[in-house]
Chain A
């Protein structure tokens, strides 16, 4: 039971470099999310995709782009990494959107350091 799989698990970048964080879920969920987790801040929503073919901004979208490649995959791209983007990034999925009764299922995160 893979659930939500994130790659890579760890990454170190230099300021200005770009990279894409990958996320895939095998639960046939319609909705997917990207969060960042910083010490003492809880999780903050970066972008979400309510369904295949749609994406929307969350609380902290600046500096990021996303692509919902298909129903299974949702990627997060940093075009020009900045030290303020050092964080742990979590991908999550839920069966549907628009129904907050749905629990979200999380991957184990990507730990990203930007020097």
Chain B
């Protein structure tokens, strides 16, 4: 299996711009997670989906962040407008169910200037 695929790997943009991060989970996995990792705060869960339905979005920092999962093989995390404090590595992960190991993508390194 190809594993969890994220794109782009790196994104540099100016503050105020819209940023869209993409994720393709492992085929057959029912759960999809979005995380953010920074030196200051470590790894934080932003939102996760079960069968394409958002289950818990309490980690989404504010209304500028939104996530969608239109089908079982694709999800997006959008930031609009972006701010410098959004700079971080964003990871997507998937698992068969909530009690199975999570498999992570290699992340998107986002820099907002």
> Do A and B form a real pair?
no
